[in-house]
Structure 1
């Protein structure tokens, strides 16, 4: 059986699954229409890489492949405004020194390739990248690594970004730590608010549930 025949059978099954849901109630209407739209989107996403051409040779790493995929979809002008990918693990409870060096080498190369690709296509001025971790690390090591902490760093990259450090670096003095952790001095929702309002042109308040100090990096 050919790949096309297999794909057609799968899409037919999905259509049979989702079509009966439409017209039963609002929730099922939404689920049914979302499922059918997802199938249409699959066709669009499949075509985007075929129209992509670049002289940039991305590094052969997982994060580089993911960013290349984002570049392909973005450059296809499908209207998508937010892309997301992850990479890790940076959960360095042990062997942090060598582990971090390798991970950051991968990330640095991938980010460089990604923006070089955008610049080649005259698309770098309408993209910013927000890089963050979902948790910080403790101020002091545990022997060969660091355990989960509170405060952490975030990086915003792009031609439109006002470079430099925004905010104050958390104190690492023993008397200023909170149970061994650095104390955050900027709420991450303020960071999101800057991106939402000053870059995407949206009202951040209903999304982050309030108003927070915004770092002025845009």
Structure 2
């Protein structure tokens, strides 16, 4: 690891990859006045969301087959999954007689989809090459490492490699944008509201951590005042520090940049806590409210490209799924709905794209009280720049033993995570040559689904 990366990853969580010159953003008129702003927001659903009970077959034949398989679970839901309670989706003609709907708890997501502001990307997952069940049975398929493992598949979704990877694809996108002079080199280019730092970590891009929408504080400064406080502030800002040793020089610069980055964030964003929309008081709702505040302050922060990471856990529903999953779906629906409303109210809906990701999907088969680990999963992509109101890719039938069923209704993906991510890279401004370098398996697949304008 080179000296720069050693410093970046060995420093405290306050540290960012910024230099002092990059923090003088308020004087950078080209940054602060530019309307060339774009942001990606990843909502990572930890545990593996059950897509079979999120995007539900809606035509009579498909629904009855699904309901028969899922009968042990369906009898336990407080809100019945009868067809009359589902939210019908406009289904593309290529699915023929098959129709789809969202779960009863997902009212706002269904409205966003049917209004053309959200798309569904079907059956996405880690792939090295197109794969069929027969290839797996014949032991001729090239498969991603450590399938069905939570930690490894979370890492693979974020980076293309199992647990232990250093850099994520969104962080690499941020690197490429800075190197191509499309994005400003800013400490606020990549922000995590909870965890999932890997996705937004690049070789030059380091995540800026927020806790409850705020940067980490130096607690001792809250209990002092006067000369003592001034002296402590100078100490923590490394004011006037000099050293001949190269390592000490870099650590001083790192401490100075981190301190001033936090000061700039507090002056630009922390005071901007009012939103037009009433966000739900859930963990996800408050994360997305903080993201909205940062986005609305992007000019003061001097950044024209940003990637955000927010998370929602609890989707590992091996048991008690009939109680837990509807609560999670309600949380997801209300938080994303409020986020969309806030962006629309502020005229920023066209500049922000939100997408979901998760460890994996889950089995169609019921284990008695829940479902087990799967592979391919369906995802939502929302924003004004999304070619919405339609489904991209495949939604395989809710039945067993077809060519994409690897057992128990575990779906073999038909869209790779790299194809999924490449669309976001292109929208953010990365050229195709660089995209192919960032995502080396793209050449193994055909034309990627184009769900971004």
Aligned to 2:265: 45
**Could you tell me the TM-score, scaled by structure 1's length?**
0.84
Deviations 1:100-130, CA, capped at 9 Å, x for gaps: 1111111111111112111121111100101
Which portions of structure 1, spanning 4 or more consecutive aligned residues, are displaced by more than 3 angstroms?
4-11, 13-16, 18-22, 31-36
Matches within 5 A, 1:135-174: 135-163=360-388, 164-174=390-400
After the TM superposition, which of the residue ranges 82-91 and 208-217 deviates more from structure 2? 208-217
Report the structure, 1 or 2, having the larger helix content.
Answer: 1
Does residue 182 (structure 1) correspond to residue 403 (structure 2)? The answer is: no
1:5 and 1:102, CA in 2 relative to 1: closer, same or farther beyond 3 A?
same
Partner SS state of residue 294, structure 2: helix
Does residue 23 (structure 1) correspond to residue 246 (structure 2)? The answer is: yes
Task: Give, in whole Å, the separation in 2 of the partners of 1:73 and 1:4.
Answer: 28
Question: 1:34 Cα deviation (Å)?
Answer: 4.4
CA contact under 8 A between 1:71 and 1:117: conserved in structure 2? Answer: yes
1:89 and 1:107, CA in 2 relative to 1: closer, same or farther beyond 3 A?
same
In structure 2, which of residues 340, 349, 356 is the aligned counterpart of residue 124 of structure 1? 349
CA contact under 8 A between 2:236 and 2:259: conserved in structure 1? Answer: no
Does residue 195 (structure 1) correspond to residue 424 (structure 2)? The answer is: yes
1:13 and 1:55, CA in 2 relative to 1: closer, same or farther beyond 3 A?
closer
Mark the structure with the bigger radius of gyration.
2
Does residue 104 (structure 1) correspond to residue 325 (structure 2)? The answer is: no
Task: Give, in whole Å, the separation in 1 of the partners of 2:376 and 2:359.
Answer: 10
1:217 and 1:32, CA in 2 relative to 1: closer, same or farther beyond 3 A?
farther
Stretches of structure 1 that go unaligned for 5 or more consecutive residues are none
Q: Which structure is richer in relative contact order (CA contacts within 8 A, separation 6 or more)?
A: 2
CA contact under 8 A between 1:52 and 1:76: conserved in structure 2? Answer: no
Does residue 69 (structure 1) correspond to residue 285 (structure 2)? The answer is: no
After the TM superposition, which of the residue ranges 188-197 and 39-48 deviates more from structure 2? 39-48
Question: 1:153 Cα deviation (Å)?
Answer: 1.3
1:21 and 1:217, CA in 2 relative to 1: closer, same or farther beyond 3 A?
farther
Partner SS state of residue 377, structure 2: coil
Question: 1:192 Cα deviation (Å)?
Answer: 0.1
Question: 1:37 Cα deviation (Å)?
Answer: 2.5
Does residue 204 (structure 1) correspond to residue 435 (structure 2)? The answer is: yes
Q: How many residues align?
A: 213
CA contact under 8 A between 2:318 and 2:369: conserved in structure 1? Answer: yes
What RMSD in Å do the two structures reach over aligned CA positions? 2.8
Task: Give, in whole Å, the separation in 1 of the partners of 2:414 and 2:372.
Answer: 20
After the TM superposition, which of the residue ranges 180-189 and 165-174 deviates more from structure 2? 165-174
1:147 and 1:34, CA in 2 relative to 1: closer, same or farther beyond 3 A?
farther
Does residue 58 (structure 1) correspond to residue 292 (structure 2)? The answer is: no
Deviations 1:131-151, CA, capped at 9 Å, x for gaps: 111222112111111111111
**Could you tell me the TM-score, scaled by structure 2's length?**
0.43
Question: 1:39 Cα deviation (Å)?
Answer: 2.4
